Amino acid sequence: MKLKIMTGMSGLALKMACLGGVAFAAAAATEGNWPQWRGPLQIGLAPTADPPVTWSETENVRWKVKIPGAGTSTPLVWDNLIFVQTAIPTGKKVEPTPPAADESAPANPPQAGAGSSEKAPGGPADAQNKGPGGRRGGPGRGGKPAEVYQFALLCLDRATGKVLWQQVACEQVPHEGTHPDGTFASSSGVTDGKHVWAYFGSRGVYCYDFQGKLVWSKDLGDLRIAAGFGEGSSPALYKDILIVNWDNEDGSFITALDKMTGKELWKQARDERTSWSTPLVIEKEGKAEVVVSATGKIRSYDPVSGKLNWECGGMTRNVIPTPVADNDFVYCTSGFQGNALLAIKLGKTGDLTGTDSIAWSHKKGTPYVPSALLYNGKLYFFSGNNPMLTCLDAKTGQVLIDAERIEGMQGVYASPVGAGGRLYLTGRNGVTVVLKQSDKLEVLATNKLEDRIDASPVAVGKDLLLRGRENLYCFAAK
């Protein structure tokens, strides 16, 4: 089956076809931008970007801006504007609610960013990578926070880092805590170049125009996350439809909203407990589908009607990584209490579990929090939350790099990003290692910042954005 290039599509879409990516619904307009979690093609790749290879606190720094509050969501970029979500503590205290035990939840939970990001901690790296910056999100394990937060969207000038406007979407005490490494602004928003949809999970979804005017807002209720480990899934956009997945411990569903009014278009119940994965929109040969990965089943929905296209079991518990797709397969991964990677053939219907619709599978060294990167027919991913990189041939599953350690990095929540023929791999200790895009480890540079980083890198044009726990950096070669 061939990838259909949509009418009016730019050179980005043509290049995307060569790279093996499926058609993103707004690909004609996303060239040079980063409109959502996982970038313009939703696979962690910026095909037209050429960011710098080396930087530091003093080298190739275009600007560095302190962001108020805390957040691990991915910055959005459209032309000369950057949008950043954050949760700002106000100092107003309330009487906390004692934590409720949840024996069914794992000891090392997820918390997104990236859905997110950069979504969830857990695994061996956690014990050695916790620090003061990672504790700003509030109490975990189900304890109710005791402080009022402002949930805010900032708009910055890309050239200077100047804050152009800041809007407080709401001000409230979060009904649940989050993991010690997490924040209350871990979900990422999405933009179409005219509006931006800030998403704060249980605090609601907010549509703003580019001047900061609120167009509409919608409260979807309160998520009850396993053990209070925090929220992290981000919305997806298909044409005029905003899609939100709402997996939690009490009444999971997926819903579609009219992007301009917030009106509910459809809603489907889901037999799932908590997951943190972000929906992936795939458009192939004129047919669109939304793929959502979770512990019970991976499911594909029609974005217009909400009808279930297919489903497939095979993931582990606590599914966090967002799927990626190319012209033939959708690749789903998870890595808590086991390892799972499935390459599922596109265009199928029904229950695909255990059928020949699974082209190949991999059961070693898959990621817990970070999502995979799909670049030039190769899948790159970390093992758990550790700086151990695997590379597979996306068509066959052949192992090209087998969980090799990346020196200098300590713990990983951020997802890998591809740009300019290079891989950008960021550790929680502020170290980003740049590799040549290949089937071998070839280190081009190791760059260290003073900030801790859980959010995924963003590559746009000649710029690289890194969101630390304290600061947002913009690097560009001089």
Neighbour-count burial for 424-446, b at 16+ CB within 10 Å, e otherwise: bbbbbbbbbbbbebebebeeeee
- Spatial distance between the Cα atoms of 190 and 74, rounded to a whole number of angstroms: 10
- Contacts of 344 by beta carbon, 8 Å cutoff, 6+ apart: 298, 312, 329, 330, 331, 332, 352, 357, 358, 359
What average pLDDT score do residues 83-93 get? 97
In this predicted model, what pLDDT tens digit does every residue of 294-347 receive, in sequence order? Answer: 999 999 999 999 999 999 999 999 999 999 999 999 999 999 999 999 999 999
- Spatial distance between the Cα atoms of 160 and 454, rounded to a whole number of angstroms: 23
What average pLDDT score do residues 103-125 get? 39
Residue 228, φ and ψ in degrees, nearest 5:
65, 35
**Structure confidence at residue 285 as a pLDDT band (50, 70, 90):** confident
**Structure confidence at residue 227 as a pLDDT band (50, 70, 90):** confident
Q: What share of the chain is helix, strand, coil (3-state, %, to 5)?
A: 5, 40, 55
Give residue limits of the domains in the chain: 11-98+109-476
Q: What is the pLDDT of residue 32?
A: 86
What average pLDDT score do residues 377-382 get? 98
Q: What is the pLDDT of residue 126?
A: 35
- Spatial distance between the Cα atoms of 459 and 287, rounded to a whole number of angstroms: 29
Out of 2.130.10.10, 1.10.540.10, 1.10.10.10, 3.40.50.12280, select the CATH number for domain 11-98+109-476.
2.130.10.10
Asked whether 36 and 54 are in contact (CB, 8 A), the reply is no
**Structure confidence at residue 449 as a pLDDT band (50, 70, 90):** very high
| pLDDT of residue 142 exceeding 60 | no
Asked whether 270 and 254 are in contact (CB, 8 A), the reply is yes
- Spatial distance between the Cα atoms of 71 and 470, rounded to a whole number of angstroms: 9
Lookup result for tokens 């200790």: 429
What average pLDDT score do residues 37-65 get? 97
Q: What is the pLDDT of residue 478?
A: 84
76-78/81-93 β-pairing: antiparallel
In this predicted model, what pLDDT tens digit does every residue of 342-357 receive, in sequence order? Answer: 999 999 999 999 999 9
β-pair partners for 207:
197, 216
What average pLDDT score do residues 461-467 get? 98
Six-digit token string for 107: 């000891």
Q: What is the pLDDT of residue 440?
A: 94
What average pLDDT score do residues 372-377 get? 98
Six-digit token string for 238: 């298909």
Tell me which of 86-90, 118-122, 179-183, 387-391 is least confident. 118-122
Asked whether 253 and 266 are in contact (CB, 8 A), the reply is no
Six-digit token string for 169: 């979407």
| pLDDT of residue 239 exceeding 60 | yes
Asked whether 9 and 28 are in contact (CB, 8 A), the reply is yes
Percentage with pLDDT > 70 across the chain = 84
> Where are the strands (E) in 247-312, listed by range?
253-258, 264-269, 280-284, 287-292, 298-301, 308-312
Q: What is the pLDDT of residue 97?
A: 60
In this predicted model, what pLDDT tens digit does every residue of 399-420 receive, in sequence order? Answer: 999 999 999 999 999 999 999 9
Asked whether 189 and 85 are in contact (CB, 8 A), the reply is yes
Diameter of the chain measured on Cα atoms: 59
Q: What is the pLDDT of residue 284?
A: 86
Residues in the chain: 478
Q: What is the pLDDT of residue 265?
A: 98
